[in-house]
Structure 1
Amino acid sequence: MSDPDLNLLPALDALLREGSVTGAARRLGLSASAMSRTLARLRQATGDPLLVRAGRGMVATPRALELRAQVQVLTHGARQVLSPQVAVLDPARLERAFSLRANAGFLDRFAPALVTALRAEAPGLQLRFQAKPLKSADPLRDGACDLEVGTPADPASEAPELRRKLLFRDHFLAAIRAGHPLRAHPGDAAAFAACDHVVAARRGGGRGPVDTALEQLGLARRIAVVVLGFPEALRIAAASDLVALVPASMMAGQGAALEALALPVETPPLSVWLMWHPRLQEDPGHRWLRGAVVRICHEMAAKTARPRG
């Protein structure tokens, strides 16, 4: 037995609503002859005349009357399935879990504020933060996470199908303990390079744009310690004479133990992006969440203090 032609459902709905071939043709924008041919196909498919002549008009058969309500429900449901989702989401009624993948520096700086702000709007929300031991687009592609925070250097940023939204622009600065000798030499590239440094680098090494800029001046810094994340680098800088190279956003709320100095060389700005897979683009809950994350991060980044020196 062959599958039924579901394209006949709208025509059957129109015929049963109008009770005439002419009226159904007008409703669907077809010619009367085309609708007559469609009625013939419907009669063959259902095994019932559906509409029969009664004087100058037509009347529905008992089978047609029996089908009328069911056909209306089916066609209405099909239109809903094949139409854009326009429902307005109420975050206060959202009961759903989402996962956000980011590095330790972002989580240390933004996770507490994100949790507080998001739960104030959506108390039923469950937010699962995931560590980012490796840079890869696979967790977004296979659904292991719903959102990812990254930079243009991340492989996820280069995946052509992923959607992205700028969270904020950042810049690197030098974090030093209060009273550090470098505080007496602001803007002095030689004094900066002469210090021992602690850097965050998951793959080791720790060289970056600041080293390239120093080399153009004939200088090189000594990397004494390499750690996995910026939070560790800041803790070490606060307890030693090592200088930590960190994003400016990481300095907010560090307290009096640390000071921030502008770098003595120019380095490219740092763009931080929110990324997601296009299958979630039109999902109401996901659309609300990513909009809220962008808004909260924008607000927090705008409050980041500029370094001295």
Structure 2
Amino acid sequence: MTRVDLNLLPALDALLTERSVTGAARRLKLSVSATSRTLTRLRAVTGDRLLLQAGRTLVLTPYAEQLSQRISALTHEVEGVLSRTEHQFDIATLEQRFTLRVGEGFIDQLGAALMDRIRRTAPGVQLRFAPKPNWNAQPLREGAIDLEIGIVKTSAPEVRTRLLFRDRYVGVCRIGHPLLSERSISVEQWAAYDHVMTSRTGEAESSIDAAVEPPNGRRKVRMVVPSYTSAMQLTRHSDLLAVVPHSCVGNSFVPDYAAANGLQCFELPVPIPAFNISAIWHSRLDHDPAHCWFRAEVLDLCLEAYPRNLPQASPPLHR
């Protein structure tokens, strides 16, 4: 392997991620001229220009686009093989920050319970909850996100998943809402009231919204908000109705969460399928001791919180 210089891997990773020689130099702690020379070497080794000028910015060539899907994981794996030293993994002395990308409902319902669980065994661990504007897998590839919790909406082959629990949608309204006086709620009665819709992107229509539409009409959506927690707060102080995941209205730790917040949930009068909530991470973390421990803690927490919503047979924590 006389032609292979493994020192080029971190440089290639930085250049393809930053798409800027200056940005890559800053990340590598090198001068811009040294990074530019490294790019020249990479072009010679790969036989591809990798980065092309497009106005004032650089864009990736098609070959570089292919490499960008693999290079980050490959760099971490090579670094782990060549530089990792054997050590005894000690949870009690672990000092690490785990970044999670989750919805506001998970933070509201289980954030404190997860922190309490972690603190008992690993007091040096910090949790950071990142916003979840979309389901883009790139932050997992780049290492900006350690673990995502939610619906799997990526087919990226390097992404790993583990089912945490099954969830379903329910209706919510304030306690004492006129709709609750009905012995059974019909589609017509439900659709007669004003609704608040949750849309993370801000769009006025979504796949969930289409699924809960009455068969012979449309709901009167008066408000669109970015989170289920916001929708629940609005229904608490008005006659608006909302559709939220059942996991947002309570669990084994806080079984009376809805009532304590002035809300009552009810079964929707329109059929809508249940869905899976999973842990999602990058394959490079499959066998990392700290990440394996953390994933197990999240799984155990969900087992306690939603014991009836997990199938008996489950896949392993990593594959």
Q: Under TM normalisation by the shorter chain, which class is it?
A: 0.5 to 0.7
- Alpha carbons 2:179, 2:185 under 8 Å: kept: no
- Please give the secondary structure, in 2, of the residue aligned with 1:140: helix
The residue number in structure 1 matching 2:166 is: 169
Amino acid in the other structure paired with 1:174: G
CA 1:240–1:197 in structure 2 vs 1: closer, same or farther (change >3 Å)? same
Answer yes or no: is 1:238 the counterpart of 2:236. yes
- Alpha carbons 2:197, 2:209 under 8 Å: kept: no
The residue number in structure 1 matching 2:65 is: none
Gapped regions of structure 2 (runs ≥ 5): 3-80, 251-256, 310-319
Amino acid in the other structure paired with 1:106: F
Gapped regions of structure 1 (runs ≥ 5): 3-80, 305-309
Matches within 5 A, 1:133-152: 133-152=133-152
Superposed CA deviations along residues 240-279 of structure 1, whole A, max 9, x for unmatched, are: 0000110011111133410010001110112111111011
CA 1:191–1:266 in structure 2 vs 1: closer, same or farther (change >3 Å)? same
The residue number in structure 1 matching 2:38 is: none
The residue number in structure 1 matching 2:278 is: 273
RMSD: 2.5
- Please give the secondary structure, in 2, of the residue aligned with 1:255: helix
Amino acid in the other structure paired with 1:135: W
The Cα of 1:116 is off from its aligned counterpart by 1.0
In structure 2, C-alpha distance between the alignment counterparts of 1:87 and 1:167, rounded to whole Å: 30
Looking at CA atoms only, which structure, 1 or 2, has the larger radius of gyration?
1
The Cα of 1:191 is off from its aligned counterpart by 0.5
In structure 2, C-alpha distance between the alignment counterparts of 1:255 and 1:183, rounded to whole Å: 14
In structure 1, C-alpha distance between the alignment counterparts of 2:212 and 2:105, rounded to whole Å: 24
In structure 2, C-alpha distance between the alignment counterparts of 1:173 and 1:226, rounded to whole Å: 17
In structure 1, C-alpha distance between the alignment counterparts of 2:129 and 2:212, rounded to whole Å: 35
- Alpha carbons 1:162, 1:278 under 8 Å: kept: yes
The residue number in structure 2 matching 1:99 is: 99
The residue number in structure 2 matching 1:258 is: 263
Amino acid in the other structure paired with 2:118: L
In structure 2, C-alpha distance between the alignment counterparts of 1:158 and 1:218, rounded to whole Å: 35
In structure 2, C-alpha distance between the alignment counterparts of 1:229 and 1:213, rounded to whole Å: 17
In structure 1, C-alpha distance between the alignment counterparts of 2:187 and 2:206, rounded to whole Å: 16
The residue number in structure 2 matching 1:68 is: none
- Alpha carbons 1:200, 1:206 under 8 Å: kept: no
- Please give the secondary structure, in 2, of the residue aligned with 1:275: strand
TM-score of the two chains, using structure 2 as the length reference: 0.64
The Cα of 1:211 is off from its aligned counterpart by 3.8
- Alpha carbons 2:258, 2:265 under 8 Å: kept: no
In structure 1, C-alpha distance between the alignment counterparts of 2:282 and 2:211, rounded to whole Å: 35
The residue number in structure 2 matching 1:219 is: 217
Matches within 5 A, 1:1-309: 89-152=89-152, 154=153, 157-185=154-182, 186-203=184-201, 204-209=203-208, 211-212=210-211, 214-215=213-214, 217-252=215-250, 253-256=257-260, 257-302=262-307
- Please give the secondary structure, in 2, of the residue aligned with 1:164: strand
Superposed CA deviations along residues 164-217 of structure 1, whole A, max 9, x for unmatched, are: 1011110000110001011123331111111111121022214444644544x3
- Alpha carbons 2:96, 2:124 under 8 Å: kept: yes
Superposed CA deviations along residues 55-94 of structure 1, whole A, max 9, x for unmatched, are: xxxxxxxxxxxxxxxxxxxxxxxxxx69x99977432221
- Please give the secondary structure, in 2, of the residue aligned with 1:149: strand
CA 1:245–1:206 in structure 2 vs 1: closer, same or farther (change >3 Å)? farther
- Alpha carbons 1:175, 1:261 under 8 Å: kept: yes
Which runs of structure 1 show a deviation greater than 6 angstroms over 4 or more consecutive aligned residues?
A: 84-88
The residue number in structure 2 matching 1:56 is: none
Superposed CA deviations along residues 112-162 of structure 1, whole A, max 9, x for unmatched, are: 11111111121111111111123200100011111111203x3xx322210
Amino acid in the other structure paired with 1:254: A
Amino acid in the other structure paired with 2:273: P
How many positions carry a matched residue from both structures?
221
In structure 2, C-alpha distance between the alignment counterparts of 1:105 and 1:283, rounded to whole Å: 28
